[in-house]
Amino acid sequence: MVAVTTFIIACSKGGGGGTKDPDPTPSGFDKAAMLTNYADALIIPAYTNLQTQAALLETAVNTFLTTPNAANQTALKAAFKDTYLRFEDVSADQFGPAEAALFNNFVNTFPTDSAVIEGNVIRGTYDLTSNASISQQGLPALDYLLFNPHAVADFTGGTAVNRKKYVQDVVANLKAKINTVLTNWKGTYRATFIGNTRSDSGSPIAFLINQFAFEMDQLKGPRVGWPFGKQSAGVTYPNNTEGFNAGISIALATENLTALKGMFNGGGSGKGMSDYLVALNKQQLSTDVMAQFDKAIAALKTIPDPYPTAITNNKTQIEAAYREIQILLTLIKTDVASATGVRITYQDTDGD
C-alpha cells in the first residue's frame, strides 16, 4: 500500500496540472461548495427568519398581554403559528451551535408540562436556564399558556401578573436561544462547518444525514405516530401533539417535512445531498428519495388540522401518511446513509 500510495501521490502530482481526465465516471464533487450552500443559503437564513419572526411574536404577545381579549388572541395565534413554522425550518439543524445550546430541547420539548408551569406561575420563582426546565418553556409552553381553552380568562384572573411575567420570560429565553445559535453560526462555526468535508462521525455531512434520519424518526413517532396510538395499541394521546392548543400539528409536521426536503436537495441549488448522491452514481436513489418526499408531504396534507380531531375522524389518511413517512425514513436511514458512507458513532468498527 505504501507503493500504491506513493504511486497515487506521484500520479496526482504528475498528471495534475489541469489535464482533464477523459474517464466518464463521476469526477469530483465539490463538498465544500455543498456545505457553503447549506450554511449560507439554508441554515443561516432559516435562523435569521426565525429571529425576525420571534421579534414579531414578541410584539403580538405584548399586545395580547396588555389587552387580553379574543381578538388579540387570534392575531397572536397567527404570529405564533408563523414562528412555530419558522422553527420547523431549523428543526433539522440540531448540530454545532444548536446542539451546544440544546436548542431544540429548550425551544420545542413537547408535550409541555402544564402542571409544573402552573406551579411556576403561582410561585413566581423558576429557573428557565436549567436543563431540567426544558418542558416548562419554549414554543410548547407558549402554546399552552396562550391558547389553552381558559387562556384569555387566566390573564385577567388572580395569577395574571405572574402569568404575564412568565410568558415574557419564556419569550425572552426563546429569543436569547435563537440569538445565541445564530450568532455562533455567523461567527466561527460557519467556517468550521464549511471547512470540514469529511464524512466520519461528527462531520457536517454525517450531521446532516443523521439529522435527516432523526427528524424522520420524530415525524414518525412524536409528531404523527405516537399521538395516534401506534406505540400503545391504539390508545391515542391527542394532548401530546405538537402545537396542540393552537391546533396546528399537521401544518407544523408538513412544514417540517417540506423544510427537510429543501435541506435534502440543497434548496434546489444543485448543491445538495441529492446532488451529492448523483455524483456518487446514485441517480435513481436521489430521484426516488425526492419523489418519496413529495408522496409523504402530499399524504400529510390530506390530514386536516386540528390533529386531535383527525385522530378520530381521519384514520385512513393518517395510516397512509404514516406508511409513506416510514418508507422515506427507511430510504434515508439505510440507502442514503450507506451510499454516502456515513458512520453513526465514534466507536471502532470492522467496517460492516
Q: Of 8, 133, 147, which is closest to residue 77 (Cα–Cα)? A: 147
d(CA 221, CA 318): 13
Q: Which residues contact 162 (CB under 8 A, 6 or more apart)?
A: 121, 122, 124
Q: Quick one: 90 exposed, middle or buried, by C-beta within 10 A (0-12, 13-18, 19+)?
A: buried
User: Least CB distance from residue 91 to other proteins, whole Å?
Assistant: 17
Alpha helices in the chain (DSSP H): 2-14, 31-37, 44-66, 70-90, 97-100, 103-107, 114-123, 138-147, 151-154, 160-184, 190-195, 204-218, 249-264, 273-279, 283-301, 307-313, 315-330, 337-339
Residue number with CB closer to other proteins (4 or 70): 4
Q: Of 249, 246, 243, 232, which is closest to residue 300 (Cα–Cα)? A: 249
How far, in Å, are 87, 150, 166, 253 from residue 147 at the CA level?
A: 18, 8, 15, 19
Residue number with CB closer to other proteins (182 or 329): 329
User: Least CB distance from residue 84 to other proteins, whole Å?
Assistant: 24
Residue number with CB closer to other proteins (85 or 285): 285
d(CA 246, CA 238): 13
User: Least CB distance from residue 224 to other proteins, whole Å?
Assistant: 12
Mutual orientation of helices 160-184 and 138-147 as an angle, nearest 10°? 150
User: Least CB distance from residue 319 to other proteins, whole Å?
Assistant: 12
Residue number with CB closer to other proteins (99 or 169): 99
d(CA 303, CA 316): 9
The three cell numbers locating residue 247: 391546533
User: Least CB distance from residue 281 to other proteins, whole Å?
Assistant: 8
Q: Which residues bind other proteins (CB under 8 A)?
A: 1-5, 8-9, 11-13, 21, 23, 25-29, 31, 196-200, 217, 221, 225, 230-234, 279-280, 282, 284-285, 326, 329-331, 333-335, 337-352
Q: Let me know: does 336 contact 277? Beta carbons within 8 Å.
A: yes
Residue number with CB closer to other proteins (49 or 330): 330
d(CA 180, CA 190): 14
User: Least CB distance from residue 346 to other proteins, whole Å?
Assistant: 7
User: Least CB distance from residue 13 to other proteins, whole Å?
Assistant: 8
d(CA 220, CA 343): 22
Residue number with CB closer to other proteins (129 or 232): 232
Residue number with CB closer to other proteins (1 or 71): 1
Residue number with CB closer to other proteins (218 or 245): 218
User: Least CB distance from residue 194 to other proteins, whole Å?
Assistant: 12
